[in-house]
Amino acid sequence: MHCGPVRLASLAERFGTPLYVYSADQMLERLTLFERALSDRDHLLCYAVKANSALALLRLFATHGAGFDIVSGGELERVRTAAPEALDRVVFSGAGKTSDELDLALKAEILSFQVESEAELALLAQRAARMRRRARFSLRVNPDVFAETHPYISTGLSEHKFGIPIAQARRIYRAAREQRWLEAHGVSVHIGSQIRSAEPFGAAMARVARLVRELAEDGIPLHSVDAGGGLGIDYEDGSSFDAAATVREYIESMETALAGLKVRLVLEPGRFLVAQSGALLTRVLYVKKNGRKTFVITDAGMNDLIRPALYQAWHEIVPVEPRRGRRSTVDVVGPVCESGDFFARDRRLAPLKPGDLVAILDAGAYGMAQSSNYNSRPRPAEVLVTGRNARMIRRRETVTDLFAPELGLS
């Protein structure tokens, strides 16, 4: 198994396991798919930092013209550190921004605050007035559109905590006109994550387009429409997944809704850009039989990749150097003391022995980003492969790293 021309086995030997491996070339290919599909429209791609916030990846995307969708002051500092020139291409989402975070972003003169409540807009007006800085904002509206996905990552229904009911948006934009330090820049939506059909994006965009037209009648011209992120991939059949066609259909469904509107289209893809470009490499520690079940215990655990435990997510698992012999049904599990610590259940896999390497595929998004130190496990190293060059972009944590913030022993 390879990442581009680079053998995964050689990376495991060089950098140890568990190890996250990413392909820069594949990430940029994905970015290009959006650029191509949007060539007829003014647009800005704002990579959703929370999907994978490695500084080296932020720099890579910024170098290729992307902006960023952030959800915290910490992510703002990541962009500032990796690509300060991209701060004016940042949009700031999130339902619970603090005063400190608003101040930080005002000072950085980001492109737009994606405001999720009237109270947040009032606070933003106050902080902007204090600093005498104009704040460009977009209301994040909740379009009440259902998108089929896991309930934990669905966000576009009125029962969710996100956004402002779209029926209230017009009134709030009108009221905001009276605020000297606020500037209505655009409108945004984000209906959820891992959405596999283009249709809900079009439906949400149709509601947003109606609002944009109403506001234009009110004399409030919006410059941009932010469709959020959420475009999904095929975890179960990654090799036959047609990414280009998926992007084209997605853009077409939104273009239909936006027909005739001269607005800039902002997109916030996260998973779609990085998920399939990454794998988690792990070594088999033990193979153990308990009654009728066989457990393959790996040196990676749920603290390194929590998606199976958190979202019942399915990841393809492949032996890096497959052995001959009959496949058998196994559970692939980690060493963490939780029954939820599994990567696969009842999976048919080629024979595996202690010391073998396996790759957990499509782990580039919400993998390292959601990792933790549970069980006092230092987190994996990360390697970025560009062409034939493999570069470590984050060293493996040490136990000393984990203790560093702790006090109270003296």
Ligand X SMILES: *Cc1c(COP(=O)(O)O)cnc(C)c1O
Active site residues: 337
CA distance 110 to 123: 17
Question: Residue 229 or 367: which CB sits closer to ligand X?
Answer: 229
Residue list 4-43, contact with ligand X (CB under 6 A): none
**Cis-peptide into 84, omega within 30 deg:** no
Out of 17, 53, 154, 193, point to the residue binding ligand X (CB under 6 A). 193
CB of 13 to ligand X, least distance (A): 32
CB of 156 to ligand X, least distance (A): 11
Question: Residue 201 or 342: which CB sits closer to ligand X?
Answer: 201
Residue list 59-98, contact with ligand X (CB under 6 A): 69, 93
Question: Residue 188 or 298: which CB sits closer to ligand X?
Answer: 188
- Amino acid, res. 283: R
Residues in contact with ligand X, shown as a per-residue x/- string from 148 to 187 under the rule CB under 6 A: ----------------------------------------
Which residues, 6 or more positions from 239, have their beta carbon under 8 angstroms from its beta carbon? none
CB of 139 to ligand X, least distance (A): 13
Out of 229, 334, 364, 367, point to the residue binding ligand X (CB under 6 A). 229
Place of tokens 């990676």: 300
Residue list 233-252, contact with ligand X (CB under 6 A): none
Q: Would you count residue 277 as binding ligand X (CB under 6 A)?
A: no
To the nearest 10°, report the CA torsion of 332, 337, 339, 340: -80
CB of 191 to ligand X, least distance (A): 10
How many residues at the interface with ligand X, by CB under 6 A? 18
Q: Would you count residue 268 as binding ligand X (CB under 6 A)?
A: yes
Q: Would you count residue 362 as binding ligand X (CB under 6 A)?
A: no
Which residues, 6 or more positions from 406, have their beta carbon under 8 angstroms from its beta carbon? none
Contact between residue 226 and residue 268 where contact means Cβ atoms under 8 Å apart:
yes
Question: Residue 162 or 173: which CB sits closer to ligand X?
Answer: 162
Out of 78, 207, 271, 377, point to the residue binding ligand X (CB under 6 A). 271
Out of 18, 186, 270, 308, point to the residue binding ligand X (CB under 6 A). 270
Question: Residue 75 or 382: which CB sits closer to ligand X?
Answer: 75
Question: Residue 192 or 301: which CB sits closer to ligand X?
Answer: 192
Give the range of 246-254, 268-276, 306-314, 318-326 binding ligand X by CB under 6 A: 268-276
Q: Would you count residue 364 as binding ligand X (CB under 6 A)?
A: no
- Contact residues toward ligand X (CB under 6 A) are 48, 50-51, 69, 93, 190, 193-194, 228-231, 268-272, 365
